[in-house]
A and B are shown apart, each in its own frame.
Chain A
Amino acid sequence: DAKTTQPPSMDCAEGRAANLPCNHSTISGNEYVYWYRQIHSQGPQYIIHGLKNNETNEMASLIITEDRKSSTLILPHATLRDTAVYYCIVRSSNTGNQFYFGTGTSLTVIP
């Protein structure tokens, strides 16, 4: 699976959009981009995933660049409860269903 690079930490004002970047320049054609988050030592929680089209669900939006070498997770109106570590994972659906978590981005939402 391709490697991802994320900034170690970010801040965001409450109520504003949080934009979390992820670089995955070695991504291959059959690899998806996944985002999970982990709130204060709880188990990670699935947010969203996509292949090449932009995706939106009730939690967030995922924007993938046309060359697929990077992506951005957008939390449209960040709340204090969105303070967490966010993991960007690139994975092929054929690789035994294993997810490889890096160190992620620690997002702090500021009141």
Chain B
Amino acid sequence: NAGVTQTPKFRILKIGQSMTLQCTQDMNHNYMYWYRQDPGMGLKLIYYSVGAGITDKGEVPNGYNVSRSTTEDFPLRLELAAPSQTSVYFCATTGWDKNIQYFGAGTRLSVL
């Protein structure tokens, strides 16, 4: 039981490149979330999903896209990377107990 798995762990992008951050969970949770955390700051919600086929915007969705075709996977897409997207990205899930979010280890992204 791996919980929430994020890949890659680290990535460096050039300005204008695109990439997909992967998030997979094996807990059969309906709810999934993407956060970003800038240095010295708290987490900000980018997008979330309440189930397969359903996604919605969080606080800071600009520059990102998501999809949720299965319960297990919730990829985050950056289409035109900008230096402002340099951050640590966390994926999280909640299940029937909506009080507890389970987080992945994070993806550290630098856009240069």
Binding site for B on A (CB under 8 A): 32, 34, 36, 41-46, 49, 87, 93, 96-104
Roughly how many angstroms separate A101 CA and B42 CA in the complex, as a whole number? Answer: 5
CB-nearest residue of chain B relative to A99? B101
For B78-112 the 0/1 string (1 means CB < 8 A from A) is: 00000000001010101000111111111000000
Contacts A49-B99, A98-B33 known; 5 new A-B pairs at CB < 8 A: A36-B101, A43-B92, A93-B98, A97-B50, A97-B94
Tell me whether B43 and A101 are in contact (CB under 8 A): yes
Q: Are B41 and A45 in contact (CB under 8 A)?
A: no
Q: Which residues of chain A are within 8 angstroms of B40 by Cβ–Cβ distance?
A: 103
Q: Is the beta-carbon distance between A43 and B106 smaller than 8 angstroms? A: yes
Contacts from B to A (Cβ < 8 Å): 4, 31, 33, 35, 40-45, 48, 50, 56, 58-59, 88, 90, 92, 94, 98-106
Q: Which residue on chain A has the smallest CB distance to residue B101?
A: A99
Chain B residues with CB under 8 Å of A42's CB are 103, 105-106
Query: Who on chain B is nearest to A100 by CB?
Result: B45
Provide the main secondary structure of the chain A interface. loop
* Residue from A45, A93, A96, A102 in contact with B99 in the complex, judged by beta carbons closer than 8 Å: A93
Chain B residues with Cβ below 8 Å from A41 are 88, 106
Decide if the interface of chain B is mainly helix, strand, loop or mixed. strand
Residue of A nearest to B41 (CB): A103
What residues of chain B lie closer than 8 Å to A100, measured between beta carbons? 45, 59
* B58 to A: closest C-beta gap in Å: 7
Set of chain B residues within 8 Å of A36, measured between Cβ atoms:
101
> Could you jot down 26 A-B contacts, CB within 8 Å?
A32-B99, A34-B99, A42-B106, A43-B4, A43-B90, A43-B92, A44-B43, A44-B92, A44-B101, A45-B103, A46-B99, A46-B100, A46-B102, A87-B42, A93-B98, A96-B56, A97-B31, A97-B50, A97-B98, A98-B33, A99-B45, A100-B59, A101-B35, A101-B43, A103-B40, A103-B42
Closest to B43 in A: A101
Complex Cα spacing A43 to B5, Å: 11
